[in-house]
Chain A
Amino acid sequence: MIPLPEEEYRQLSELQHFAFCRRQWALIHVEQQWGENLRTIEGEILHERAHDEQKTEHRGDLLIVHGLRVVSHQLQATGVCDIVEFRRSPDGVSLYGQEGLWKPRPVEYKRGRPKTHDADELQLCGQAVCLEEMLCCEITEGDLFYGEPHRRTAVSFTPQLRARVADLLREMNSLFQKGYTPKATPGKFCSACSLKDVCLPQLKRAPTVTDYLASHAREEKS
């Protein structure tokens, strides 16, 4: 892997776009094309970044850190965790300025309902990998919290999920470095895509331009 300067690391939140559609991700992050849906997407991006400055809450054996910035050099990615819960536990790690040992668990809040694809799990797992690297510990589980229904779902960070996170980030970093936008592979999910008008997924069905021009040129002669 090419070593990247830290400021060029991918954001973990980009995993959502990437897992949804590689082309959508590239249109947003490589090409910065967001057309008329600027505000829809901007809304999403703002939400992703609208974490308050980091703050810590104590609740007995629970320590809650909001808006923690995390980074993984192995993944070449950074991000911000909505919430990391530290629970007092004998198999935890020591934290500077805190007595005892603490076990971390990332929790991510999502508006709306669980998605049909694994974008949220990927992002959460990415956060866990960052935390592991920063705290030198192992994290096996985290939680996704959906606004609709008001419920927590536990996510376990399996070797498969971790491998997928690493693979996707590697691919994302390499596409970004090359400035390459993958071709459209349109599907049903396009109807939920706010970049449809910029992507033009129907190009996939269109004839080549050479054929288009040639057929019109023939008609010119006739």
Chain B
Amino acid sequence: MKRLLNTLFVLSEDSYLALENENIVIWGEEGKRGQFPLLGLESVFSFSYKGASPALLGACTKRGIGFTFLTPNGRFLARACGAAQGNVLLRKTQYRISDDPNQSCFAARCFIFGKLYNSRWCLERTVRDHGLRVNVEALKRSASFLSATAAEALKETNLDTLRGWEGQAATEYFRVFNEMILNQKKDFFFTVRSRRPPLDCVNAMLSFGYSLLASDCAAALESVGLDSYVGFLHRDRPGRESLALDLMEELRSVFVDRFVITLINTKQILPKQFDKMEDGAVLLNDVGRKTFLNVWQTRKREQITHPYLQEKMQWGLVPYVQALLLARWLRGDLDAYPPFLWK
């Protein structure tokens, strides 16, 4: 399997990025802040509002290096993609399926099955690992609801009904989410999902993590020649990376939720790493973001065995491999899309 290369995170909000020979140079008020060779780089996440030079963006897209712009707080702004890869046949198949509700549902139910399967096992794992500290009964009840719903979802042929199943399951899952937090409970608690803005520390981390994961998924889809804006479960809406959101569904709980919970439970993240804004929004501060990204990067390098391919790979490659499998299904190599089922 291919190897994960480096990711460059540019966290200072006043940095300007430019190309010099084969290097990314980071400029600040005071001059050069650093420079990194393009070679060996997989992606760049810039949290700076000053941006980057067109020459640098061109060089990155040409080499398949993903380039994502986020606000200093980590909200997704834009991603650079170059002249589209020439895989027009694949894209046309994608569009045809997206236009056909039956076929879209056939794909969407695989995403949803993956999502429910993985959320269920997150709950089961908490029961298994911390049975004496958690409300086993509540977790078990939700897990079996997710399990039953997953089985239904797999047979579903109507997209709207499928979305209904998914909504109910999400509610059920988040209802017991707080059970998985075992440490620092005074400062880290989950009541309800709040997005814009996130209103507590847990939501702040979830939003940040989902934002990173969405960018990874979008970059992975584009790199295999798919259009990240045209989805099956999520319908087209201008400016929305629907297919990236589709692909992300099955990965949310295993990639982000568990990660956030581990950060809290192992006290790698602390209450003082958050800032509270005037409008009530809670956001990771600079120190918090750095911690989050460091652990996130380490996590991406962990080895796993892919449940479908039965092949060892790094965690961080999963979005890429799933995008590839999606493309292989669209090209007729597979009878359906195999979601990443993790337990």
Q: Which residues of A contact B (CB under 8 A)?
A: 30-33, 35-36, 38-39, 179, 181, 183-184, 197-198, 200, 202-203, 205-206, 208-210, 212-213, 216-217, 220-221
Contacts and interface: CB of A to CB of B under 8 A. Distances in A.
B150 A209 contact: no
Given A33-B87, A35-B223, A220-B150, A209 B336 contact: yes
Contacts of B327: 33
A216 B117 contact: yes
Nearest to A36: B2
A171 to B, nearest CB: 18
A190 to B, nearest CB: 13
A210 B335 contact: yes
A181 B335 contact: no
Given A31-B225, A202-B311, A206-B309, A213 B151 contact: no
B337 A209 contact: yes
A220 B225 contact: no
Contacts of B223: 35
A220 B120 contact: yes
30 contacts: A31-B89, A31-B90, A32-B86, A32-B87, A33-B85, A33-B224, A33-B225, A33-B327, A35-B2, A35-B223, A36-B2, A38-B63, A39-B63, A183-B333, A200-B325, A203-B328, A203-B334, A205-B310, A206-B338, A209-B110, A209-B308, A210-B335, A210-B336, A212-B341, A213-B110, A216-B117, A220-B117, A220-B120, A220-B148, A221-B151
Does more than half of chain A's interface fall in helix, strand or loop, or is it mixed? helix
A208 B335 contact: yes
B2 to A, nearest CB: 4
B308 A212 contact: yes
Contacts of B147: 220-221
A206 B308 contact: yes
Contacts of A203: 309, 328, 333-334
Contacts of A39: 63
B328 A200 contact: yes
B337 A206 contact: no
Nearest to A39: B63
Does more than half of chain B's interface fall in helix, strand or loop, or is it mixed? loop
Given A38-B64, A217-B151, A30 B89 contact: yes
Contacts of A209: 110, 308, 329, 334-338
Contact of B309 (A31, A35, A202): A202
A31 B87 contact: yes
- 8 cross-chain pairs, A with B, having the tightest CB-CB distances, nearest first: A32-B86, A209-B336, A197-B2, A220-B147, A179-B89, A209-B338, A208-B335, A216-B341
B227 to A, nearest CB: 15
B210 interface: no
A28 to B, nearest CB: 11
B136 interface: no
Q: Which of A203, A208, A210 is most buried by chain B, counting CB atoms within 10 A of its CB?
A: A203
A1 B328 CA distance: 29
A34 to B, nearest CB: 9
Given A32-B87, A209-B329, A209-B337, A217 B225 contact: no
